[in-house]
Structures are given as C-alpha cells and as structure tokens.
Amino acid sequence: MSLNQLRKRNAMYREDIGYIEIPPEGDPAKRKDYWEIGKGLQATDGLPTSPYLDQVIQETSNGEYDTAEASEKIKRYYDEIDESSPEHLTKEGDEVTARIAMALETFPFTFDPITLQSIHKRLFENIKPGFNPGQWRRNDISKKEPVLNGASVEYADCSSILLRLQNQFSLEKDRQINYLPLLDEANIKQLSRFISSIWETHGFSDGNTRTIAVFLILYLRSMGYSANNDYFKDHSEYFRDALVRANFSSVVLGVVPNYSFIEKFLENMLLGEKHDLKSLDLRCSELFN
C-alpha cells in the first residue's frame, strides 16, 4: 500500500469513528417512564411534586418536546416563583425529577465510586443553599427511621467513605462474572448486598437513596439487563426502608441485618416475581415491643 493510500484510508477511518453526542430518548413511552421513575423516587425523602410537573410529563410523553426542553421549562417555572410562596415547596422534587429523567437518558456509566459523585452532582447542583453536591460528606450523621421506631442505621465514618466504597466496588467487580449469562436468586443476593453496602456508606449529606437508585438502574443497563423500573415509580419508599433493614443490627436485641426485603424488591424488578411489597412488613418488631 502506498503512502498516499495509507493516508487516505486513515483519514476515512478517523471520519468514521468521530465522536457523536448521545441523542435524547426518542421513544415517548420510555421517556415518560424515566420521568415517572424520577417522580416516584422523590418519595424516598418525602418530597412533594407539583401538578405542573404532571403537566410537563404528559406533554413530553406526547412528544411535544424532549427531556432537555422539559427540564428547562421546569427551571423557568421556579425562577418566576417567589421563594416564600407555597408553590416553591415543590421545587426540589420537580427539578430533581427532571434531572433523574435526563440522567437515565444520557448519563455515560462507568463502574467506579466517582460515578456516584457524578450522579449526585448532576441531580442536586444548585438545588438548595448550603449543599455540596458531588462532595463526600464531612460530618458523621444519623437519621431517625420510622421502621426502626426512631432508631438510626449506623452509617460509615465520614473519614472512611472513599476507602470503603473503593473496597466495595473492588469486591463487586471481582464477582461481576457471576451475573452472566442470566440473573438468578443467587445473583440477586449478591446484588442486594452490594447495593446495601454502598447505601450504608451514605457518602453524601442528602440525596443518597435517589443517587443509589439511578446508579443501580444504570449499572444493570450497562450489563445488558432490562429491569422493570415500575417498582421505583410505585415502591420507592419500600426500596429505601428495605435498605434500612439490610443495614440495621443490635446485639442487645438480637437483631441482625435483614436482606430479605431488598431481595424481594430486586426479585420483582429483575426476575418478574410477585412478592407483596407491604411497608408494614418492614417494621423491626424488636424495636416496637
């Protein structure tokens, strides 16, 4: 091959492999699913959403505009509302819903703790003052949990967050081959423990469950698995409380971490099981006696 022929072939090759933008979701039904997932996940933190959000979801699912345009409409809507107005109370729920929808459409997934930071920053940047999205928390935290009768999960020490996550991701990466070729109940047990462990680390001061949910959907998609994400629309509070139960123990009361609830959620979502996901079942009975 002559030098000119080689140059011509290389020029054609470079043209063929040029970068392209990730296009917005073209299927209105799938786009609506992403919005409904985002809306459902606001319940994990008890956040309300507005009738205006429902209107926008309907319009974008009708194909009137794509998710980026819909997100901008929501932003402009709240830019025009006084912060002291009652209508402003739905700002976080609506705007984070839009960002979750956008992340599920276009976020480029890599299996790394940094991805958690990137997702968190994308979801919560400029949402509220005094919040540092994408930054590991610098204080130790606790949270009263209704299913624990006001007790709290013992979250990771703030100084150990990155080290713990790196270890958890390393262990999971070594076990990823177990997910092939098909998921089964044993895989679900493995996945439930991985997701529970990174949730228990609670790397951020707020928004952890929403971040983990988006991460989980993208992680499964990266492995080629199609999940029934309706469970995030309809049972997001169960998802969070199941993670609470998977991470609570008490030697005094004889309570050990209970993974059965998160396993039921994932089995419904991934294996098509029909477990009854009732919130009352999640209560730790030893703490209510």
Per-residue confidence band for 65, with pLDDT thresholds at 50, 70 and 90: confident
Per-residue confidence band for 80, with pLDDT thresholds at 50, 70 and 90: very high
pLDDT tens track for 37-60: 999 999 999 999 999 999 999 999
pLDDT above 60 for 210: yes
3-class DSSP assignment, residue 255: strand
Residues 6+ apart with CB under 8 A from 9: 1
pLDDT above 70 for 118: yes
Q: Is residue 79 domain-shared with residue 118, that is, in the same domain?
A: no
Q: What is the pLDDT of residue 280?
A: 84
Q: What is the pLDDT of residue 171?
A: 96
Whole-number average pLDDT of the chain: 91
| CATH at residue 138 | 1.10.3290.10
| Bridge partner residues of 68 (DSSP) | none
pLDDT above 80 for 165: yes
Contact 113, 162 (CB under 8 A): yes
Contact 187, 179 (CB under 8 A): yes
Average pLDDT over residues 235-262: 96
Q: Please state whether the predicted TM-score (pTM) of the whole model is above 0.85.
A: yes
Q: What is the pLDDT of residue 279?
A: 83
Q: Is residue 72 domain-shared with residue 152, that is, in the same domain?
A: no
pLDDT tens track for 191-204: 999 999 999 999 99
Q: Which two tokens stand for residue 148?
A: 């624990």
- Alpha-carbon gap, residue 172 to 166, rounded angstroms: 10
pLDDT above 70 for 9: no
Answer with the one of 106, 140, 162 that is the final residue of a domain. Answer: 106
Q: Is residue 120 domain-shared with residue 99, that is, in the same domain?
A: no
Residue 77: give the domain boundaries: 1-106
Q: Is residue 133 domain-shared with residue 261, that is, in the same domain?
A: yes
Q: Is residue 169 domain-shared with residue 267, that is, in the same domain?
A: yes
Q: Is residue 133 domain-shared with residue 93, that is, in the same domain?
A: no
Q: Is residue 102 domain-shared with residue 194, that is, in the same domain?
A: no
Average pLDDT over residues 176-190: 90
Q: Is residue 97 domain-shared with residue 122, that is, in the same domain?
A: no
Q: What is the pLDDT of residue 285?
A: 94
Q: Is residue 101 domain-shared with residue 127, that is, in the same domain?
A: no
Q: What is the pLDDT of residue 207?
A: 96
Q: Is residue 272 domain-shared with residue 172, that is, in the same domain?
A: yes
pLDDT above 90 for 73: yes
- Alpha-carbon gap, residue 40 to 233, rounded angstroms: 4
